[in-house]
Amino acid sequence: MAGRPVYHNALEAIAGINDGATVMIGGFAARGVPTRLVLALRDRAPKDLTIITNDTSGGWGGRVDCSLLVEARLVRKVIASWPVPASTAVVTPLEQQLRAGEIELEVVPQGTLAERIRAAGAGIGAFYTPTGVGTPFAEGKEVRSIDGQDFLLEYPLSAGFALIRGFRADTLGNLVYRKAARNFNPPMATAARVTIAEVDAVVPAGDLDPEAVVTPGIYVHRLLVPE
């Protein structure tokens, strides 16, 4: 094997994402979103998706983000920290579908979201976090006092697929990122059965600085790169 399979066609890269799939999608405020993969997923149009992503608020100056999957009515459930814009001036497709009872939403504090994803990738069965104690995010959760401080029990979040955005990959799938486009992509890479990374370029193994690799290739199963 020469390394991880490299795709130039985004629809081919997302083969296997079918109705009912759970899909993690990297990005924060439309930075670090795997744009081509998200657009291809819209075109493939599987139904009843569960989407795990930081934000689905849209409105980032026309940049592509996951809100377009909600708008295309492909999503049954969203798990996110920032599902709607702060402003109430616009009623987003997500809010419309929520009001109509057509979509489910789980709002998770951003750090808990990241840690639940990391836990799935790291084989942790559950963890106690101080975030959210005494708030609506504690509802229905086990509270445990440890050394006099209260914590909530949180469970891992895994997915069938993770669509992530890297900067460069090598042929083994090792990834580096660029600035704040890193965000949720590294933990998501670890937490899916199939991780698909959209990158600007694939370089020969050995061309990335081994000290600077952020996501080891073991976590990356397919690469999408421009022709």
Partner 1 sequence: MNKERLPRDVLAMRIAKELEDGSYVNLGIGQPTLVANYIPPEKLVIFHSENGVIGVGPMPEPEDEDPDLCNAGGQPVTTIAGACFVSHADSFALVRGRHLDVAVLGGLQVSETGDLANWIRPGRGVGGIGGAADIARGAKRIYVMMEHTTKDGERKIVRRCDYPLTGQGVVHTIFTDLAVIRVTPQGLVLLEVAPGWTPEEVQALTEPHLTVSPDLREIAL
Name which of its own copies, partner 1, none residue 108 binds, using a CB cut-off of 5 to 8 Å depending on partner kind.
Answer: partner 1
Residue corresponding to tokens 């985004």? 10
Nearer CB in complex with partner 1: 42/82? 82
Q: Which two tokens stand for residue 8?
A: 């130039």
Query: Counting contacts by CB under 8 A, is residue 217 touching partner 1?
Result: yes
Among 57, 93, 103, 115, binds its own copies (CB under 8 A): 115
- Return the closest-CA partner of residue 5 out of 164, 221, 189: 221
Among 16, 20, 130, 206, binds its own copies (CB under 8 A): 130
Element housing 115 (H / E): helix 110-122
Q: Which two tokens stand for residue 213?
A: 């690799």
Span from 12-20, 29-37, 79-87, 127-135 in contact with its own copies (CB under 8 A): 127-135
Query: Counting contacts by CB under 8 A, is residue 151 touching its own copies?
Result: yes
- Return the closest-CA partner of residue 34 out of 14, 61, 18, 17: 14
Query: Counting contacts by CB under 8 A, is residue 30 touching partner 1?
Result: yes
Site map (CB under 8 A) of partner 1, residues 82-111, x = contact: xxxxx-x-----xx--xx-----x-xxxxx
- Distance (Å, rounded) from C-alpha 194 to C-alpha 173? 13
- Distance (Å, rounded) from C-alpha 42 to C-alpha 38? 6
Span from 56-64, 81-89, 120-128, 217-225 in contact with its own copies (CB under 8 A): 120-128
Q: Is 11 in a helix, a strand, or coil?
A: helix
| Contact set with its own copies (CB under 8 A) | 115, 119, 122-130, 144, 146-147, 149, 151, 155, 176-179, 209-212, 214
